[in-house]
Structure 1
Amino acid sequence: MSFRRLSVATIVLVAFVGPMRAEESLIAYKSLSPELALDLARAALASCRSHGYQVAVAVIDRFGA
């Protein structure tokens, strides 16, 4: 294989592999709406109270805020 063919093959390979690696580094996550999270927290609180447990419930996001 000539040097020119090898160079072209390398450039083509890098052109296609580069964007794929960038996409793999992205992190996607899903989150609940605040309203839904509050409804779920209230339901959990009601369930615990109905079973005789005294608990506290807090709604926070995944970053703790």
Structure 2
Amino acid sequence: MRLCAKVGDQRLEAACERALVFASPKYRTVKTILDNALDSQPTAAPAPTPAPADTYLNSGRFGRDLHSLLIH
């Protein structure tokens, strides 16, 4: 409530949206965004996590098929 009276509805909403993009909807995050005037800058989405290498897909790097595992 105090932040709204201090900075206004529009800035507070922009700061909250920015905090949600980074999955941190905490009071301290929103206040820091407002203090640094980051609410007026465009929000860049966080970098996506890279997909696992093909080595670890399709039964993994050291994976064996059932036949070779059970019959020596």
| TM-score range for the pair, normalised by the shorter chain length | 0.3 to 0.5
Larger Rg: 1
Identify the structure with the greater helix proportion: 1
Query: Which fold has the larger relative contact order, with Cα–Cα distance below 8 Å and residues 6 or more apart in sequence?
Result: 2
Q: What is the TM-score with the length of structure 1 in the denominator?
A: 0.34
